Amino acid sequence: MIHFSIMRTASVADLRNRFATISAWIENGETVQIVKRGRPFGTLTPPVPTKKPFSGKEYWANRQKELREIWGGRVFSMEEVEEMRAWEREGEEG
């Protein structure tokens, strides 16, 4: 299958007079060919998408998923939590 894409074209004057429209094309992922006196002059392309930083919300969603995989729906009593903390402290002390 052959895929053709039609590139938008704008003149240098269009850049000056209709910049909002042309920038909207680029923001929507389109490449715009700039022409000067009827001849191709340059090309404006959208930036390559970068991986967005890991947000705190995503971190906690992933962390909760991991904990559910480990512990299931189990709810610990306060005594169990204190025992686990004491056990961890023993490991830290030596």
Q: Judge contact between 31 and 15, C-beta under 8 A.
A: no
The one-letter amino acid at 48: V
Q: Which two tokens stand for residue 12?
A: 């240098």
Q: Which domains does the chain have, with CATH numbers?
A: 8-44 (3.40.1620), 56-93 (no CATH)
Using DSSP, state whether 94 is helix, strand or coil.
coil
pLDDT tens digits for range 10-63: 999 999 999 999 999 999 989 999 999 989 989 999 988 777 766 788 888 888
pTM: 0.48
